[in-house]
Amino acid sequence: MAVPERYRVLVMMGGAGPLVVRATGYMPGRLIGGEDMPGPAFLEWRSWCMSPGFLFDDATLPGRENFARLTAPLRVLQFADDPWGTEAAVALMTERYTGASERSIRHVTPAEAGVAKIGHFGFFRPDVRDTLWKPAADWLLGDTGSDPMARPRPVA
């Protein structure tokens, strides 16, 4: 994760979060900038976030071997200003799909999307419908000819 988000997450995931969950039974979304989460879901997510390999290091995850069995094309969006989905994090996750017939990452800047900020959840905002949703759908379906932002990089 990017700094300073890395330190905020370390405090929340490494210390405060588990204490809050033990006290309340859930993680209040206002503390993490999202929605309320059931306690067990937060603790599992926490264990992934605190592990260098994210969920891929979780030996208890059923079907973990299936990531490598995916044979369809894998096309991933990475937003330049996402403090969680950094280039390194997205590359690490994408590398686990070794059986994919194609693995490519499309890096998008806020300027390319015509907005000041995308961040981690910004792709889902309605104001990027024309600048992100349509081009992403075209790219995911394999039509990049009409998309000026289409510059996916194959993953080795």
pLDDT(4) > 70: yes
pLDDT (0 to 100) of residue 98: 95
Look up residue 40 and give its two tokens: 């067990």
Domain boundaries, the chain: 5-50, 66-154
In tens, the pLDDT along 72-107 reads 999 999 999 999 899 999 999 999 999 999 999 999
The pLDDT of residue 155: 58
pLDDT at 38: 97
pTM above threshold 0.85: no
Structural tokens at position 77:
């969006």
Q: What percentage of residues in the chain have a pLDDT greater than 90?
A: 60
